[in-house]
Amino acid sequence: MAFPFLTRSLLYRSIPLSIFLLTVITALSAKMVTSWFNPKYKGRTFHKVLVIGVAQNLEVRADFEDEMASKIARPGIETIPGSQILLRPDPKAKPDLDYLRGQIRDNQIDAVVVSRLLRVDKKVMSIPSSTYVAPFPYYYSFYGYLGAVYPVMYDPGYEREDITVSVETNVYATDKPDDDLVWTGVSDSFNPKSAKKVADSLVKEVPKQMEKDGLLSKAK
């Protein structure tokens, strides 16, 4: 008769661990929330793509461009991280568009992939306090009752701040003076630990969505 008690006790003890694991999984998750492929675009297949990350942290920006360029590259498609051909001035300064146009022309780039922070949403959630009650049969045994409820007797409640970081990625064709928007997508990262984590999740999710939408061939 002791084994059911031990099983239930272990179950109660595992509850905080389950909550912790769920929190970790949520913090690492990211997903594409929307994407759009321009149905009117009738341009040629891209062969040389420039990848630009718009961010004030230049180290994160350069790492993102390198990794995204690597993920987008396909046979017949050469990708160039922006850090290889673009100057890195004060990140708060406006870009020199004439210089950028010159670099795109001189390097024969026919498409540009550019990602930027769209918004950061913060939401504070109040988790109410709660008391865990042992199943009725355990009340008849002091040791059964105390062993079941003592590890999780009372949860005082707490406040949790959830953060959602939204990033927009656009793909432009450069064969026209004003550059046509070919594809756009928005991804959400939940409770990321750093800007680097946001960039890492973006690199994984955006190329997958481009493949689903037919912009990129399947990676081999």
Which residues touch 76 (CB under 8 Å, ≥6 apart)?
45, 47
Predicted pLDDT of residue 69: 96
Tokens, residue 66: 């390198």
- 175: helix, strand or coil: coil
The sign one gets for the Cα dihedral 59, 105, 48, 189 is: positive
- pTM score of the predicted model: 0.71
pLDDT in tens, the chain (220 residues): 333 333 333 333 333 433 333 344 344 456 899 999 988 887 678 899 999 998 888 888 899 999 999 999 999 999 999 989 887 666 677 778 888 889 999 999 999 999 988 888 888 777 666 655 555 555 556 665 566 655 555 566 667 778 888 899 999 998 876 678 999 999 998 878 788 888 888 899 999 999 999 889 887 7
Q: Which runs of E-coded beta strand occur in 38-192?
A: 48-54, 78-81, 111-127, 130-131, 154-155, 158-173, 180-190
Nearest Cα residue to 27 out of 200, 219, 153: 200
In the chain, what are the domain boundaries?
Answer: 35-124+159-212
Work out the number of other CB atoms within 10 angstroms of the CB of residue 12. Answer: 17
To 5 degrees, how large is the angle CA 88–CA 59–CA 47?
70
Q: Which fold has domain 35-124+159-212?
A: Rossmann fold (3.40.50)
